[in-house]
């Protein structure tokens, strides 16, 4: 599965996109856990100690926020794209 990385998260992986193995029946949680071994710093920035998405991170599946889907339990289908965005602020 293709995972796009944006903003301040990119330096944690050294690229704007990474491939993660995903199988039929996997969820967003499975995909994010798949990042743990290869990109531990990214994993720590995305998930908190309880395994929930950090408030400062936006996770999208095919352009839709998982907050409005089933959260970390959102099913991943063949050809889906996951995107990780840090919150942006300013004035």
Mean pLDDT along residues 43-51: 93
Instruction: Examine the pLDDT at 50 and tell me if it is beyond 70.
Output: yes
pTM, full prediction: 0.90
The burial class, CB within 10 Å (0-12 / 13-18 / 19+), for 86 is middle
CA distance linking residue 41 with residue 39, whole number of Å: 6
How confident is residue 78, by pLDDT bands cut at 50, 70 and 90?
confident
Q: Does domain 2-86 have CATH number 3.10.20.30?
A: yes
């Amino acid at each position: 599965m293709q995972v796009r990385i944006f903003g301040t998260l990119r330096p944690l992986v050294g690229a704007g996109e990474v491939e993660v193995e995903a199988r039929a029946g996997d969820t967003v949680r499975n995909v994010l856990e798949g990042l743990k071994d290869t990109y531990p710093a990214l994993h720590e920035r995305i998930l908190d100690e309880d395994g929930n998405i950090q408030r400062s991170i936006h996770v999208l599946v095919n352009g839709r926020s998982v907050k409005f889907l089933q959260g970390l339990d959102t099913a991943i289908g063949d050809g889906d794209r996951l995107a990780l965005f840090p919150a942006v602020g300013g004035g």
